[in-house]
């Protein structure tokens, strides 16, 4: 049976797994950037729809007035960093706990299956088939993170094999790029050169060479700042040390 973790439990899980302090807010940030999924349990009447993001309409109704019991997935743009309750007009189906009938075949994920979303039905008139839609009311305290997402993220964040000098090749490249960019900025008259204001540019340069990519693609500026440039300090040609805040 699949296991789920609350936001606080997920933070503790990753902290233990990657040996780095992870806060509940960090978990929400990971969810907002699509690195992990956030679900909430729901039982009630819904309308099942084929979900095609970017198309119009994005939701194409399939089955109306369906009794659903399972987990819905919070859309990434809707995830909040506070603890306030909010409403969702629709949500993707993450998992059904009772998809047993032929009608429920849409709720069984397969490689070729379309993405399925749901709209909550507040009232349904069986005589006229008129529908009154409602909202999924959710709160961060009800968020649950699938264990498999945490395992995948923890695996991705594990320290990589290092070179003899104790640094991975991409880290060495990042440091060289940082020095090059810093010198160029200094020569142009810029005097405030810090890790924080240079990491974006370093990440952009790193991304140009696939050899610098991680297992999930291009490295983020945060990854560059916290791993490759940790402790880095620019020393101007004049010998005056730069800052590294």
**What pLDDT was estimated at residue 168?**
54
60 and 121, same domain (yes or no): yes
Q: Categorize the per-residue pLDDT at 165 as very low, low, confident or very high, splitting at 50, 70 and 90.
A: very low
pLDDT of residue 41: 95
Question: Structural domain tally of the chain?
Answer: 2
Residues 21 and 136 in one domain: yes
Q: Are residues 151 and 69 in the same domain?
A: yes
- Least confident range from 30-39, 109-118, 128-137, 209-218: namely 109-118
| Residue 128 and residue 35 in one domain | yes
- pLDDT tens, residue by residue, 81-118: 887 899 999 999 998 887 656 556 666 666 567 888 99
Domain hosting 37: range is: 4-156
* 244 belongs to a structural domain: no
Work out the angle at residue 181's Cα, subtended by the Cα atoms of residues 179 and 187, and round it to the nearest 5 degrees: 100
Q: Are residues 111 and 145 in the same domain?
A: yes
Closest CA to 178 of 208, 200, 162, 207: 200
Cβ-contact 23, 159 below 8 angstroms: no
* pTM as predicted: 0.59
């Amino acid at each position: 049976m699949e296991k789920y973790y609350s936001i606080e439990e997920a933070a503790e899980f990753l902290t233990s797994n990657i040996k780095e302090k992870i806060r509940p807010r960090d978990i929400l940030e990971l969810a907002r950037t699509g690195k992990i999924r956030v679900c909430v349990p729901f039982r009630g009447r819904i309308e099942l729809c084929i979900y095609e993001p970017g198309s119009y309409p994005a939701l194409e109704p399939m089955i109306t007035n369906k009794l659903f019991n399972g987990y819905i997935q919070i859309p990434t743009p809707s995830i909040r960093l506070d603890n306030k309750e909010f409403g969702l007009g629709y949500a993707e189906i993450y998992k059904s706990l009772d998809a047993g009938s032929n009608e429920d075949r849409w709720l069984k994920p397969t490689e070729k299956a379309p993405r399925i979303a749901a709209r909550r039905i507040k009232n349904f008139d069986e005589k006229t088939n008129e529908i009154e839609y409602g909202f999924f009311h959710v709160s961060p305290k009800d968020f649950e993170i699938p264990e498999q997402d945490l395992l995948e993220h923890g695996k991705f964040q594990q320290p990589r094999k290092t070179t003899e000098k104790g640094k991975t090749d991409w880290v060495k490249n990042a440091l060289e790029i940082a020095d090059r960019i810093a010198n160029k900025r200094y020569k142009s008259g810029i005097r405030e050169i810090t890790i924080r204001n240079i990491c974006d540019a370093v990440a952009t340069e790193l991304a140009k060479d696939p050899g610098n990519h991680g297992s999930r693609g291009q490295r983020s500026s945060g990854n560059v700042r916290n791993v490759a440039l940790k402790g880095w300090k620019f020393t101007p040609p004049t010998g005056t040390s730069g800052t590294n805040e």
